[in-house]
A = this chain, B = another copy of it.
């Protein structure tokens, strides 16, 4: 079967709501700086009510990766779940507009599109409070076999290990991809996700995953060690390829007996580190889909990450003046 897509990414379809905030605001709201916390709709309304004037922009980890793949000239598609509302239209529109496509599901009821309330403090850090809404309702029915089978790589956002129906959607996608001899990639997304689902994640990785993305905190949490090198050794053999990012220290790509040390690409000034991991994955997956070497994939990931941290925002910049 011909492949129509380089990457089909399954993740939370989220619109970011971005506003400045003070450290005092974080303290008053009990927000832990730099963290991502899940909140319910009631809490989202009350928190939003106290946030400053905001801008809205499409986001979501896998969504950002899809945008990255598209910005590199790749063909990418996003599978998630949207509400039948204006923010859902915004998410789908922005996917189309970047040359990608939203191929997930729409809510039948009034559950709203997921929102990530992002408080940006004067030090440039982003503190995220995510109200998943429709995103958490992703289920196997939203995964179109035609789309998965037409993608060289299916990429799964670890955040979706939390809701049970989404995990079943992962299993369905993995089975379809396996059957069509496609590659399966997953990102661990968050050390707390790993804490909550360590056994299930390890089982899924052993059974299904070709390419594992993780950062230092996630991979050490996965293997319950404080020793990064021990975690890297443990990753060997669990997935065909493990790409482990270390911020300014670059990344380590492990494949069988080979270990590739990839340097971080240089950045004149780090403005906003949000989305670095998402863009690393985008560069890496794009390279892989194009049949490039693992060294090349890692370096392309580093370049994509370097671009996104040199400006505000989690998607590759298309300047407002093109």
Contacts and interface: CB of A to CB of B under 8 A. Distances in A.
B321 A20 contact: yes
A56 interface: yes
B48 A53 contact: no
Given A86-B112, A321-B121, A322-B20, A96 B56 contact: no
Given A56-B57, A57-B55, A321-B121, A19 B97 contact: yes
A250 interface: no
B18 A48 contact: no
A320 B315 contact: no
Interface in A87-101: 87, 90, 93-94, 96-98
Nearest to A93: B48
Nearest to A312: B320
Nearest to A125: B321
A54 interface: yes
A269 interface: no
Contacts of A321: 20, 120-124
A52 B70 CA distance: 13
Contacts of A181: none
A314 to B, nearest CB: 12
A112 B87 CA distance: 13
A93 B57 CA distance: 16
Interface in A66-111: 67, 85-87, 90, 93-94, 96-98
A279 interface: no
A50 to B, nearest CB: 8
Contacts of A18: 320
B315 A53 contact: yes
Nearest to A70: B53
Interface in A243-284: none
Interface in A158-201: none
A51 interface: yes
Nearest to A51: B97
A22 B121 CA distance: 34
A36 interface: no
A55 B56 contact: yes
A119 B89 CA distance: 18
Q: Could you say which of A55, A58, A124 has the most chain B C-beta atoms within 10 Å of its C-beta? A: A55
Contacts of A123: 321
Contacts of A86: 85-87, 112-113
Interface in A14-52: 18-22, 48-49, 51-52
Of A97, A98, A315, most B-chain CB atoms within 10 Å: A97
**Chain A to chain B: the 8 pairs with minimum beta-carbon distance, closest first:** A56-B56, A53-B94, A53-B97, A86-B86, A20-B322, A55-B57, A122-B321, A120-B320
